[in-house]
Amino acid sequence: MRQIKKWVIVLACSVFVSASALAGTAVPSAGHGLTSTTSSTATPLADGSTLMHQTTHGFWIETTTEAGFPSEKSADCNVTMLLSAEGALVVYRSVCTATDIDGDLFVGAIGATKPDFSDCTWTIYGGTGKYAGLSGSGQCVGGGPITKDGNHTKSTWTGEYVLP
């Protein structure tokens, strides 16, 4: 019986040490998203440019599992973008919350300043539950519309999480 207790203590300690070792560890993050615009307001500006405010709802699916997080998340974003008088992107910024099946969420931001989104980046700023203290960043690529009206789009991302 004493030997079993020893093994239980050793096992518990090794699990604790393994979990602690992960704190601060960078792990890959990659996936794809499908997003729908739920509201959109365009405000013409005096110089001919257009200020856009949108809300979106989507599904983000991670294709990497090293962090051990649920792969599927529901994402809600508040988007602000400025379009030139010719309709080209001048700046894009989005703040999003992504919620998993357990109800835990993280807050992230997405940004770009090139019309083709070739400089698109994302950053994670922490969250609740398992995402408390999470950080990370990487690149994103807009995949374009998946419907004729352009209200439904796809995207992919790569980068890394830094575990809390």
Residue range 102-161, pLDDT digits in tens: 999 999 999 999 999 999 999 999 999 999 999 999 999 999 999 999 999 999 999 999
Output the pTM of the full model.
0.83
pLDDT tens-digit readout, 44-100: 999 999 999 999 999 999 999 788 999 999 999 999 999 999 999 999 999 999 999
Residue 147 backbone phi and psi in degrees, to 5: -135, 155
Query: 111: which residues sit within 8 A by CB, 6+ positions away?
Result: 91, 92, 93, 94, 120, 121, 122
71-93 core/surface letters (b: 16 or more CB in 10 A; e: else) = eebebbbebebbbeeeeebeebe
Of 120, 91, 122, residue with least CA distance to 106: 122
